[in-house]
Amino acid sequence: AVEIILYALVRIIFNAARKRNEDLLYQATHDQLTGMPNRSYLQTNIYNWIHDVTRPFSLLYIDLDRFKSINDSFGHQCGDQLLLDLARRLQTVQPKDSVIIRHGGDEFVVLTPVVDTDEVMALSRKIIETICKPYMVNNLKLHIGASIGIAQYPTHGKSFDILLRSADIAMYESKKIKN
Residues taking part in catalysis: 106
Residues 6+ apart with CB under 8 A from 74: 137, 138, 140, 142
CA-based nearest residue to 78, from 89, 90, 66: 66
CA-based nearest residue to 39, from 94, 99, 84, 80: 99
